Structure 1
């Protein structure tokens, strides 16, 4: 594509030509910074008219997540299309542009005593648009849900440049099918999110974090204790198991550790912390962090794993990240399998998983061929219990050797039909999503 092709689409200052490839792929020969919804619409209308492919990037933390094409014709960057459009303090809602980082949002609305109840990794880099597009979440998903549960409205620029609105700006808006759900988690294959309206929550009045350290061979004890909490009247925000390698970095103890968080009024938090202390299994030690110390612990916790920028050139330190979805009580066995297979395949592994919600994260470092063999074996192990494994970060060259998404789901024909209807020319984020969509 020559510079003349783009004349009149956007100002020249917003376009870089002949951009080199990136080890994580998902790039573009032309890099375009958009500053408005109109910019996005103009670029996509141009691409649709001239049959040009378009990739999308913002903070870049998910650049290694899916994608079978190294370079599209155009890479649209939303990084400078940021800012809060509207914050309705009384309604506990906010409308925001997609390039705004989670930390920028948190800092601004925190002054009003509110927050977005999302806790994905690298919040100072991850943008709200990318979080929504990937339906990302963290350990506190147990209580607060995922990104999909918080979105009440969006503005979407379709692959042909047309703009639509889904949902609304209040929590109770329309009856019928929730169109937001089409675009949340679709990895940008159906449209570019140009505006998002999200439900907010008041900042918790008090926070507590109990860390339980279990001796070797306590898998059944962890299981039984977790079930007792889930069956009780308590309302933990997290029931996150850390494998020994993460636990050692976070707590100084190389043991499986259960991180139980409570967020509520002070008396409610202290009562629940007291229950945990009074029901500790034999041989289990524990410590408790409150308020600012608990918040600092979670801040450190969100900085594990690759982020799209911390990959290194040394092949022995190749990075990968996985998401395992399973029955919630299979998380313990999945983490044990992740650690056991790491020894067999000569890779280093850090992992954690939510016993309440069933999502585990595994971060891997090692030689490329060892990482590939490890992922294949771990996927087989998870699938034996009807779970799944998705690669959420993998260098582009390795995505040629292993299917990032695993087998096509039974409902794949529905996904394919939606893509065909909305983007018949396969302009947008081609082959980024499950099954090569």
Structure 2
């Protein structure tokens, strides 16, 4: 396919310079409709041309060891809410719509998408769903895979299918949505998403508990007591000292406990926490707008695909760690101790209720790689996993982003061959280099 051929489908621009995060394309095409997506993929499939897909770009450093595909297909301008069923608490939206745009629109109706992923003004709903992203409030509200009830998918050859539906109660059987959620765009391009909504909370509270040094076991025991109680926190997030200092002014492990309910219910649960505070623990309490502003600031840590520095000493990387929920604190402690040993700076947090931790790393490339490998080893010793969610291309070529291939890798390969036999879509972005 040459430039003249592409122009018959959609206007194309040359992009020969590449990008330090890779996952680009020699030719750049912007889609404005599902038909545009279908036409570009059909033509690329016919001519054996590879395609990378991008929207907000926040996941550009996540997976892939190829600098440029033949085509970089952007969905950033394919945005907007298609349908909002206020009574049914569902919404159908185009993939290029940012989470902030959705949040602002739904707020007028007293509703929200209960996702609290980083960089909401940049992250698009298509990228969030394709990477199955989530935030600290996953403890109560789940993650992308829990919220999507229907999609439209454009296959690699341009065919369009619908999975699921537009109502919460669907027919029994295998939920085809789950095949595409978290697949990093390797099985098809999401052109439409129907998602469950939540009412806005009547009242929000946030307790920040500051623990003295050496309190790891105290934090663990206290968190277990919260989880075993009748309280219903929407987050139970532990912040390491460096990120805590930026968020609270205190360089200590800090436990962020959020409650969202009726005002009296929030106050009652906070009172129970006060009554059982361990010795030596201080706290800060925020309500309503103060709590919302705190979370807004919290969602702006780490790389976002466009804030990488050209300075080698400030190279950025990010890890997503999955583990038993009670191993989160041990993993964060390992992340801190190894950072000192490998001469990198980190900010980290993790959910003691759901077991997902994030580690944001800054330093020289030659220090970052051994640090990530050492931390992954520590995590795997506890039967967890560590995935590199952001890394410059030159480092992704030396580090396995997803870790070792899982025992079910042959199944993943079979699904890929069925959906994209020519392997044109987002090549190398998923587990095992799929």
TM-score, normalising length: structure 1: 0.99
Q: CA separation in 1, counterparts of 2:119 and 2:375?
A: 25
Counterpart pick for 1:316 among 298, 313, 318:
313
Is 2:133 aligned against 1:136? yes
Contact in 2 for aligned 1:98/1:195 (Cα 8 Å)? yes
Q: CA separation in 1, counterparts of 2:133 and 2:297?
A: 18
Query: Match for residue 22 of structure 2?
Result: 25
Q: CA separation in 1, counterparts of 2:237 and 2:413?
A: 35
Moved over 3 A (4+): none
Offset at 1:19?
3.4
The 5 Å alignment of 1:96-115 reads 96-115=93-112
Q: CA separation in 2, counterparts of 1:343 and 1:436?
A: 31
Q: CA separation in 2, counterparts of 1:31 and 1:57?
A: 10
What is the DSSP-based 3-state SS (H/G/I as helix, E as strand, rest coil) of the residue aligned with 2:9?
coil
What is the DSSP-based 3-state SS (H/G/I as helix, E as strand, rest coil) of the residue aligned with 1:155?
strand
Query: Match for residue 8 of structure 2?
Result: 8
Is 2:408 aligned against 1:420? no
Is 2:175 aligned against 1:178? yes
Contact in 2 for aligned 1:53/1:426 (Cα 8 Å)? yes
Report Cα offsets for 1:314-366 as digits up to 9, x if no partner.
10000000000000000000000000000000000000000000000000000
Counterpart pick for 2:399 among 397, 402, 418:
402
Q: CA separation in 2, counterparts of 1:320 and 1:174?
A: 42
Q: CA separation in 2, counterparts of 1:126 and 1:385?
A: 31
The 5 Å alignment of 1:207-226 reads 207-226=204-223
The 5 Å alignment of 1:232-311 reads 232-311=229-308
Is 2:150 aligned against 1:153? yes
Q: CA separation in 2, counterparts of 1:210 and 1:17?
A: 51
Aligned pairs, how many? 434
Instruction: Structure 2: state its 5+ residue gaps.
Output: none
TM-score, normalising length: structure 2: 0.99
Report Cα offsets for 1:63-114 as digits up to 9, x if no partner.
0000111100000000000000000000000000000000000000110000
Is 2:397 aligned against 1:434? no
Report Cα offsets for 1:157-199 as digits up to 9, x if no partner.
0000000000000000121000000000000000000000000
Q: CA separation in 2, counterparts of 1:271 and 1:368?
A: 49
Instruction: Structure 1: state its 5+ residue gaps.
Output: none
Report Cα offsets for 1:21-49 as digits up to 9, x if no partner.
00000000000000000000000000110
Q: CA separation in 1, counterparts of 2:366 and 2:16?
A: 29
Q: CA separation in 2, counterparts of 1:211 and 1:436?
A: 41
